[in-house]
Amino acid sequence: MKDNRRRDFMKKMAGLGVLGLAAVGTVYAGKALLPDELRLRPPGAVEEYDFLALCVKCGQCLQVCPYDSIILEDIDGKAGVGTAYIEPRRRGCYLCELFPCILACPSGALDHDKADIEHIHMGVAVVANESACLALYNKPVPDWAIDRIYEHTTVLTPEERRTKKIKDIPNPSEKRELQIKLLKKVEQYRGKQCTMCADLCPYFPDPSQAIGMIKKGQGYVPEIREKCVGCGACVELCPTDVLKVIPRATYDEVYGKKG
């Protein structure tokens, strides 16, 4: 099995020329190359050891990401330096239906056979700080929580970001249209009851299978459900850091099997 996997990897690297060969020095160097802290990898990422070996740090996945969710690990990333990851508090993944990041990956670090929601598994969300949830106390979403998402929206002009007013621009790019659509959805919660984590979950076809709000006391709190894929959108949208994502973890590992 391991020999076959190595052969497959070398075939992929041969097809990538000099860029691919630059990554060979880190191939299967083992656990010593695993970063101290697991990063949330883009959709379709293979197992972490294989990902570190296969990712050629080309940045093509982040170039095609409509939401600018993907970034590259900086020099502090140790063995993972230059590899693609997602920092959900900065910008979650919004599960594009065609998963362009997977299709753009030239090395197999993002598995082309997993470019479907049924095969996407990035991790699992957890309710890490329930007592901070605004919905628990029926508190409205404050302005600063909405304004923060404007800072995450890279397609805005400086004026739009400053005034928090979106302008109609002739012939907008698909990226702008998608990011503005999300921003407008978020804007609807300004000063209203906070249920953004559940309402704006991008899991399809039914977000309620991944997260929902349940009654607790006089208010509500989020509940993570079996279909959660750890995309981190809820983490970005949550005003008060209630939610976290555990990369690579499964629902069963965190919450236990039902039945």
Type and span of the H or E element at 246:
strand 243-247
- Partners of residue 27 on adjacent β-strands: none
Is the Cβ–Cβ distance between 210 and 201 less than 8 Å? yes
The ranges assigned to domains in the chain are: 2-120, 124-255
Rg over alpha carbons for the chain, rounded to the nearest Å, is 19
SS3 180: helix
Rounded CA gap, 214 and 237, in Å? 18
CB contact set of 44 (below 8 Å; sequence gap of 6+):
99, 101, 102, 105, 110, 111, 112, 114, 115, 119, 120
The predicted-structure confidence for 116-164, as pLDDT tens digits, reads as follows: 999 999 999 999 999 999 999 999 999 999 999 999 999 999 999 999 9
pLDDT of 33 above 90: no
> Which two tokens mark 234?
């809820």
Enter the tokens of residue 194: 């906070």
Q: Running DSSP on this structure, what letter comes out for residue 151?
A: H
**In the prediction, which pLDDT does 2 show?**
42
Work out the pLDDT band at 257, boundaries 50, 70, 90: confident
Tell me the β-bridge partners of 123. Answer: 247
Tokens of 19: 């860029």
Question: pLDDT grade, residue 14 (50/70/90)?
Answer: very low
pLDDT at 160: 97
pTM of the model: 0.84
pLDDT value of residue 228: 98
